[in-house]
Amino acid sequence: MKGFHDKKKGFGITYDNIYLVNGARTPFGKLCGTLGQVSPTDLAIYATKAAIEKSGIKGEDIDQVMYANIGQSSADSYFFPRHVGLFSGIPEGVPAVMLQRICGSGFETIIAGAEQISLGKANTALCGGAENMSLSPTVSFGNRMGYALGKIDFKDMLWEALNDTAAVPMGCTAENVAAKHGITKEDANIFAKLSVDRYIAAHKRGFFDGEVVKMNSAEFAIEGLISRKVRLPKHAVDFCTDENVRPSNLEDMAKLPSVFARDGVQTAANSSGIVDGAASVVVANGDFIKAKGLKPLSRIVASATSALDPRVMGLGPVPAIRLVLELAGLTIADIGLIEINEAFAAQFIGCEKELGLNRDICNVNGGAIALGHPLAATGTRLSLTISREMQARGVKYGIASACIGGGQGTAILFENTNI
C-alpha cells in the first residue's frame, strides 16, 4: 500500500493483494415506485445478504462494515450501517461505519474497506450504499424553537440535494460543461439513447441477472432483536425490474423542453433517473481468498479522489482518472473498459472529450440515464458491473468513476486476474 497526496492533483493510493470478491444489488425502483416505501436500511439488507451469498462466504466471515447513505430518509437512519450489519447475519461484535462523499460514497466504502484491510484491521469488509430518494423528507429546520407569525418554512430535501448553494444547481453544472465544450442538445440525446439501448441489450442477454437480487416481502430476524418486516406491493413477486428505463427515439427526445437553462441541452430524457436502490460488495485480502478457495471478480489496484471548480463538477472524473492512471503507471490506452456515472449526458460527454475516450468501451451496459442514480449506491454498482463485464470480455484493466456534487471526482482501477 502506497499513498499519494497533492493539493492540485488530489490524493490516492495503490493497494497490494486486495480484491473485490463479488456482490449484488437490488433492482432500482423509479421515484415513488415499487420500492418507494422500503427504507434504505432494508434495501441495504437485501443487497448485503445477496452479496455475501454470491461471494461464497458467510456473514461470520465479515470483519468490518463500511456503508453509505446520503439523503437520510428513515427514522432509524442514525443506526443505518449497524442495522445493515446485524440483520445481514454479520456477527454483533463487528463494528459498522457510515461514509459520505455524496455521489462518490459507494466508491468511498470500497476505498475505506481496502485501506482497513491494508492496515491489518480486517481481512474482509462489507462495502456498499443504499438510497431511498422517494422517502426523502420535507423538513422544517428550527421548528423546535417555534415560528414567527406566518413564517413557517419547509424544505424539500430531495430538491435541496440537487442544489449546491455555494455554486449552482447540479443540472446547471452540466449546462456549464456543455457550454465549455460546445455540446449540443442533439449530442446529449444521442448519448442518452445509446445508454438506454445498451441497457436494454444487456438486459435481454441476461447480464443483469448476475447482479440483481429478486425481492419479495420479507422479515429480517436476528435472535434477541426486534425483527424488521418489509412489505412490498402485491404485484412485486420476485421483483427484479429496473423501473426507470424508458425506451425512446431521438425525434421524441428532441421535443422535450430544457430543464435547467433556457435553450439548454439537458432534459428529463438525457439526465440520470431519480431512483431507490442499494448495492453491496465483499472486499478481501489475498490470504483470505486463498484460504477460502474463492475466485474474485477483480483486484483493486488503485484509487484516487480529486477536486475542481464546483461550477463544472461533472468533469470531476477527469483529474481522478488521470491521477489513478499515474499512480498505477498506466495510460488510458491500457484500459479496456470504463464506467463513468451518467449524472447528465453533457457531463459524460465533457469527460469523454477531455480524456479522449473511446465510447465503444464506456458504459457498455448502459448507465444512470437508463437505470437511474441512487446516490450512495452508484459507486458500488459501477464497481460491481465493470468487474463482471471485465470477466465476460477477458479485459485486463477497467476504471470506474463518478463526478461528485460540490466539485469532486473519484476513480478506482480494477484488474482482472483471471486471464
User: What is the set of active-site residues?
Assistant: 103, 403
The answer as to whether 236 is a domain residue is yes
Residue with cell 422479515: 219
**Helical ranges in 4-155 per DSSP H:** 40-54, 80-87, 105-118
Alpha-carbon span 202 to 366, nearest angstrom: 8
**Overall number of domains in the chain:** 1
Residue ranges of the alpha helices (H) in 128-263? 157-161, 170-181, 185-204, 250-254
Distance CA 227, CA 219 (A): 7
Question: 123 in a domain, yes or no?
Answer: yes
**Residue 100 domain-assigned?**
yes
Q: What is the identity of the amino acid at 299?
A: R
Q: Which domain CATH number covers 94?
A: 3.40.47.10
Domain annotation covers residue 266: no
In a domain, 234, yes or no: yes
Instruction: Compute the distance between CA of residue 31 and CA of residue 71 in angstroms, rounded to an integer.
Output: 14
**Considering the domain boundaries, does residue 277 fall inside one?**
yes
Question: Which three three-digit cell numbers place residue 385?
Answer: 458491473
pLDDT tens column, 145-198: 998 888 889 999 999 999 999 999 999 999 999 999 999 999 999 999 999 999
Cell of 96: 459498522
CA distance 365 to 338: 11
Per-residue confidence in pLDDT tens, the chain, 419 aa: 899 999 999 999 999 999 999 999 999 999 999 999 999 999 999 999 999 999 999 999 999 999 999 999 999 999 999 999 999 999 999 999 999 999 999 999 999 999 999 999 999 999 999 999 999 999 999 989 998 888 889 999 999 999 999 999 999 999 999 999 999 999 999 999 999 999 999 999 999 999 999 999 999 999 999 999 999 999 999 999 999 999 989 999 999 999 999 999 999 999 999 999 999 999 999 999 999 999 999 999 999 999 999 999 999 999 999 999 999 999 999 999 999 999 999 999 999 999 999 999 999 999 999 999 999 999 999 999 999 999 999 999 999 999 999 999 999 999 999 98
Task: Quick: pLDDT tens for 81-117.
Answer: 999 999 999 999 999 999 999 999 999 999 999 999 9
Any domain includes 363: no
21 exposed, middle or buried (CB, 10 Å; 0-12, 13-18, 19+)? buried
Q: Residue 25's domain spans which residues? A: 19-137+212-240+273-292
Residue 280 resides in a domain: yes
pTM for the whole structure: 0.97
Reduce the DSSP state of residue 317 to 3 states and report it.
helix
State the virtual CA torsion across 228, 241, 70, 171 in degrees, nearest 10: -160
